[in-house]
Amino acid sequence: MAHHCVYHSEHDLFWNTGLKKDMNMKMTLRSPRAGVVVERFGDKRKYLYKIVENNPLCLIKPCTTLLPLAEISADAKIIGPDGQPVPATGEYYITAETMDPYHIVTDWF
């Protein structure tokens, strides 16, 4: 059994949220969650992510590390197929362990 997937009572506060929070705003997913694959594009000083055209829907596995997108940049945007920003219903979280330009985003509400 992988120890990094074992959660202790000190994290019970986040049990119902599906997230385990650490001190650096990183979150560890506790259960599978739907997400969309995005590709970072444009100026590297801007955090613009467009939803990929082919097979954008995916399932994010438990124990995946996520960050609030707003913590990366307050101006970060998810761009839809129509070229317009897609507002979050709640708050966007983005995978922390993926490599540019591709990431996975989920809307947490």
Cβ 46 vs Cβ 17: under 8 Å:
no
Does 34 map to a domain?
Answer: yes
Does 19 map to a domain?
Answer: no
Does 13 map to a domain?
Answer: no
Domain that holds residue 60: 27-108
The residue among 2 and 82 whose pLDDT is bigger is: 82
What sign does the dihedral 61-65-69-72 (CA atoms) show?
negative
Span 11-40, pLDDT tens digits: 333 344 455 555 467 889 999 999 999 999
- The SS3 of residue 40 is strand
Which secondary structure element, helix H or strand E, spans residue 20, and what is its range?
strand 19-21
CA neighbours closer than 13 Å in the CB half-sphere of residue 81: 7
- The SS3 of residue 55 is coil
Does 67 map to a domain?
Answer: yes
Span 70-106, pLDDT tens digits: 988 999 999 999 999 999 999 999 999 888 899 999 9
| Total tally of structural domains belonging to the chain | 1
Confidence band for 45, pLDDT divided at 50, 70 and 90: confident
Q: Is the bond preceding residue 56 a cis peptide, omega within 30 degrees?
A: no
